[in-house]
């Protein structure tokens, strides 16, 4: 055993001594929890230690990678991103952060050590409902105070929700700079186990958009330039393409290895920070969808093209049934980002013993494959056939056919059907209109102007709002310090109760709250009330719950102003796929459109005992 291994083991033993075991759970280093999951087996307590810090891509930790010494690109602490040097935020000097693999009902313990310069942080466990541990949800000033620089916070929760889940910073723009990753919770009783032969830890696809500067450059924005995506990262790897001179960087790409005839479960997370969806294609292969947002669905639909929005997760089965060789995994940013013409690639490589002697000196076969020649990479104008597509941006939902299917058209299993949730009259209904309001300089920068805003481009400033309310956080975490709420009427607001300084036609800055009762069936209609049509889609994520989608669509072109009135007067309420709708926690609201969701309010916020 090396001195490094001995030191790591001693450090873990010291840190784990103060972790109380859950019932008879054995406490182990988190990496040991990546194991075959067996039904009825005693769960483990999985302990991880993460150090969050400012770091650099293609920096000194990459030695001479940028000079073409390929072996240096795989140094344990080398973060290459898109092959350009910039400041980043890392977790254990990785982007994405470490992937967590546990079994259902394991206890996850993560000690988050904040070494970010002058910044607080939190980690949100996207997809976990935190029924017994709501204070572990990781939302600053809602479930906890931010973790201050130089301090450590321990997250501890049970991995109840099986499937592909997502963690990311919920503070500022830290996710966009590198603080994100995957959690895999395997279920030994998964209904789709028979659909695949392998569920390998390395078959993860984490897609993120990337800029050549820290995202803070664009906060609130600069007049001389508008924010844009420069690259796409697949598992933290990609190549920056300079369109001006027509050249790419020489950074390594992600490689997925498969054997002919085998079926593989792949796990996809969309970790975008822009409004733009990602389009995924795997050359000459199809993707059989078996789960979305951690919820198992019936394996009825295979696709050539998969479109996902920020926060969504999809699990699919890839059958390695093509002639052995190397195939491109292609991701591009679409919608509002179409004009930017940004895409990037990974490689699907068949194991071929007769040709797997291609390794360069000092590199493994996989590392050698990660460096295809740039001239081999398809040009942007060489698209693959779209074929069957999941979540096409303009295709109508609820009329699935051989070409177009929406996420809401996927079907869950009968055993997960909640008949009351589907059919009952909701106990509580809300209509929430999202709007990005253009604000004049004379309003924003008056003597009393202190509201937040974004500068899209020169003389174009905007403020995001819901029902004409722009959210302002409290100065204390509501969940764990409710005793600090002196006057609810003064502290909170909603569409029917606004502070005295707000009027119906004036943008209001306050803490927007919706109240529901425990176990009520809640229906929310989410609208994009933008005055113009753009390829602009708003991701929506619900913490602590899962929901079903009962309707979604775009408004008719002749409905231009009173979108709320149009929905209220809609006589026929469609309930597509009402038999076994899929459960989601993240959904896209189409531009000039709406999404209607339902969920059971069965997860009340409770204070720490």
Average model confidence (pLDDT) across the chain: 89
pLDDT at residue 607 above 50?
no
Helix, strand, or coil (residue 373): coil
Q: Which residues does residue 87 pair with via DSSP β-bridges, in sequence order?
A: 56
Q: Which pTM does this prediction carry?
A: 0.93
Q: What is the dihedral of CA 583, 585, 586, 587, to 10 degrees?
A: 50
Average pLDDT over residues 172-198: 98
Worst-scoring range by mean pLDDT, 168-172, 265-269, 308-312, 601-605? Answer: 601-605
What secondary structure does DSSP assign to 71-134, as a single string?
A: GGGGSTT---BTS--EEEEEETTBSS-PPEEEETTPEEEEEEEEE-TT--B-EEEET---SS-G
Domain enclosing residue 218, as ranges:
3-391
397 in a domain, yes or no? Answer: no
The percent of the chain in helix, strand and coil, each rounded to the nearest 5, is 15, 35, 50
Q: What whole-number distance in Å separates Cα of residue 585 and Cα of residue 604?
A: 17
pLDDT for res 608: 39
Q: Classify residue 467: in a domain, yes or no.
A: yes
> Which value, to the nearest 10 degrees, does the dihedral of the CA atoms of residues 206, 212, 216, 222 take?
-130
Considering the domain architecture, whether residues 350 and 487 belong to the same structural domain is answered as: no
**Position 398 in a domain:** no
- The terminus-to-terminus CA distance of the chain in angstroms comes to 44
Give yes or no: residues 185 and 224 share one domain: yes
Confidence grade of residue 316 (pLDDT, cut at 50, 70, 90): very high
Assign 449 a pLDDT band (cuts: 50, 70, 90).
Answer: low
Sort strands 593-600 and 548-554 into parallel, antiparallel or unpaired: antiparallel
Asked if residue 164 and residue 93 are part of one domain, the reply reads: yes
Is the pLDDT at 494 greater than 60? The verdict is yes
Higher pLDDT, 587 or 223: 587
List the single range of 122-126, 356-360, 409-413 with lowest mean pLDDT: 356-360
pLDDT band at residue 565 using 50, 70 and 90 as cut-offs: low
In angstroms, the CA 92 to CA 97 distance is 7
The answer, yes or no, to whether residue 570 has pLDDT greater than 70, is no
| Of 55-64, 356-365, 475-484, the least confident | 356-365
Question: Does residue 113 lie in a domain region?
Answer: yes
- For every residue of 153-218, DSSP letters joined together read EEEEEE--S-EEEEEEE-STTTGGGT-EEEEEEE-TT-TTGGG-SB--TT-EEEEEEE-SS-GGGG
Residue 178 lies in a domain: yes
Q: What is the CATH number of the domain that holds 196?
A: 2.60.40.420
Question: How high is the pLDDT of residue 562?
Answer: 63
Rounded mean pLDDT, 269-297: 96
Number of separate domains in the chain: 2
Of 125, 175, 350, residue with least CA distance to 259: 350
Same structural domain, 376 and 422: no
Say yes or no: 57 and 185 in one domain. yes
Which of the pair, 99 or 352, is modelled with greater confidence?
Answer: 99
**∠ CA 578-584-587, rounded to 5°:** 100
Q: Which of 546, 538, 540 is nearest to 585 (CA)?
A: 546
**407 domain residue, yes or no:** no
504 vs 351, higher pLDDT? 351
Look up the CATH number of the domain holding residue 546.
2.60.40
Same domain (yes/no): 204, 344: yes
Joined tokens for residue 175: 């996710």
Look up tokens 């969806």; give the residue.
277
Q: What is the pLDDT of residues 35-64, one digit of tens each?
A: 999 999 999 999 999 999 999 999 999 999
Q: Which of 200-216 are b and which e, b meaning 16 or more Cβ less than 10 Å from the residue's Cβ?
A: eeebbbbbbbbbeebbe
Contact 493, 512 (CB under 8 A): yes
pLDDT of residue 106: 98
Regarding whether 237 and 134 lie in a shared domain, the answer is: yes
pLDDT band at residue 3, thresholds of 50, 70 and 90?
very low
Tell whether 28 is covered by a domain.
yes
pLDDT for position 367: 96
Summarize the confidence of residues 557-570 as an average pLDDT: 61
Same domain, 457 and 372: no
Indicate if the pLDDT at residue 88 is higher than 50.
Answer: yes
Q: What is the mean pLDDT of residues 511-535?
A: 87
What does the pLDDT average to over 147-154?
A: 99
Residue 200: the pLDDT is: 98
Comparison of pLDDT for 230 and 566, the residue scoring more: 230
Across 81-85, 108-112, 495-499, least confident range:
495-499
Residue 185 pairs in a beta bridge with 102, 163
DSSP label of 35: S
- Percent pLDDT > 90 in the chain is 68
In a domain? residue 61? yes
**pLDDT over threshold 60, residue 317:** yes
Burial 389-427 (b: 16+ CB within 10 A, else e): bbbbbeeebeebeeebbbbbbbbbeeeeebeebbeeeee
Rounded Cα–Cα distance for residues 381 and 395 (Å)? 22
- Count of C-beta atoms within a 10 Å radius of residue 303: 24
The stretch 377-404 carries a mean pLDDT of: 86
pLDDT at 563: 62
The reply to whether 200 and 82 lie within a common domain is: yes
* Whether 221 and 312 share a structural domain: yes
Question: Is the predicted pLDDT of residue 8 greater than 50, yes or no?
Answer: no
Q: Which of 5-14, 125-134, 383-392, 528-537 is predicted with the least confidence, judged by mean pLDDT?
A: 5-14
Are 33 and 148 in the same domain?
yes
Q: Cα angle vertex 357, ends 353, 359, to 5°?
A: 130
Give percent of the chain above pLDDT 70.
88
What DSSP string runs through 209-249? EE-SS-GGGGSS-BTTB-----EEEETTB---EETTTTEE-
The verdict on 192 and 277 lying in the same domain is yes
CA distance 338 to 341: 6
């Amino acid at each position: 055993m090396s001195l490094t291994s001995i030191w790591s083991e001693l450090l873990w033993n010291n840190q784990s001594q103060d972790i109380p075991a859950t019932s008879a759970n054995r406490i182990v280093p988190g990496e040991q929890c990546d194991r075959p999951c067996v039904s009825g087996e005693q769960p483990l307590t999985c302990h991880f230690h993460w150090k969050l810090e400012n770091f650099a891509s293609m920096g000194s930790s990459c030695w001479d990678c940028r000079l073409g010494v390929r072996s240096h690109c795989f140094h344990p602490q080398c973060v290459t991103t898109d092959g350009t040097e910039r400041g980043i935020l890392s977790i254990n000097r990785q982007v994405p952060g470490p992937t967590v693999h546990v079994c259902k009902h394991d206890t996850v313990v993560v000690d988050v050590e904040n070494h970010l310069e002058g910044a607080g942080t939190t980690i949100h466990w996207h997809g976990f409902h935190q029924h017994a541990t709501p204070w572990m949800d990781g939302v600053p000033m809602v479930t906890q105070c931010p973790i201050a620089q130089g301090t450590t916070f321990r997250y501890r929760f049970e991995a109840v929700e099986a499937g592909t889940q997502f963690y990311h910073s919920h503070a500022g723009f830290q996710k966009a700079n590198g603080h994100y990753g995957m959690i895999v919770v395997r279920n030994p009783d998964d209904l789709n186990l028979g659909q695949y032969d392998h569920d390998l830890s390395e078959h993860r696809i984490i897609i993120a958009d990337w800029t050549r500067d820290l995202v803070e450059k664009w906060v609130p924005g600069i007049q001389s330039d508008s924010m844009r995506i420069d690259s796409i990262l697949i598992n933290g790897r990609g190549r920056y393409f300079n369109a001006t001179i027509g050249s790419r960087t020489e950074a390594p790409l992600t490689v997925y290895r498969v054997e002919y005839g085998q079926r593989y479960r792949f796990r996809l997370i969309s970790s975008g920070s822009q409004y733009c969806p990602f389009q995924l294609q795997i050359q000459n292969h199809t993707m059989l969808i078996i789960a979305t947002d951690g919820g198992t669905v019936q394996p009825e639909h295979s696709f050539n093209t998969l479109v996902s929005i920020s926060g969504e997760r999809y699990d699919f089965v890839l059958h390695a049934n093509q002639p052995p060789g190397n195939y491109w995994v292609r991701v591009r940013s679409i919608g509002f980002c179409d004009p930017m013409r940004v895409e990037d690639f990974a490689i699907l490589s068949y194991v071929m013993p007769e040709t797997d002697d291609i390794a360069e000196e000092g590199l493994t076969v996989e590392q050698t494959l990660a460096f295809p020649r740039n001239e081999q990479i398809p040009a942007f104008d060489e698209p693959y056939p779209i074929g069957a597509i999941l979540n096409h941006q303009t295709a109508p939902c609820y009329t699935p056919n051989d070409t177009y299917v929406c996420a809401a058209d996927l079907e869950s299993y009968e055993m997960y059907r909640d008949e009351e949730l589907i059919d009952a009259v909701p106990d509580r209904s809300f209509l929430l209109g999202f709007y990005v309001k253009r604000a004049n300089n004379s309003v924003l920068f008056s003597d009393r102007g202190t509201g937040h805003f974004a500068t899209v481009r020169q003389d174009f400033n905007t403020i995001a709002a819901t029902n004409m309310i722009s959210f302002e956080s409290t100065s204390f975490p509501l969940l764990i310090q409710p005793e600090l709420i002196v006057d609810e009427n003064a502290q909170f607001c909603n569409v029917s109760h606004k502070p005295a300084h707000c009027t119906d036609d004036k943008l209001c800055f306050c803490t927007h709250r919706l109240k529901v009762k425990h176990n009520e069936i809640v229906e929310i209609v989410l609208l994009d009330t933008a005055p113009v049509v753009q390829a602009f889609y708003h991701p929506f994520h619900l913490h602590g719950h899962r929901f079903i989608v009962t309707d979604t669509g775009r408004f008719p072109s002749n409905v231009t102003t009173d979108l709320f009135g149009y929905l209220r007067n809609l006589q026929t309420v469609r309930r597509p796929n009402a038999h076994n709708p899929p459960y989601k926690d993240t959904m896209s609201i189409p531009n000039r459109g709406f999404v209607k969701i339902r969920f059971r309010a069965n997860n009340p916020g409770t204070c720490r005992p």
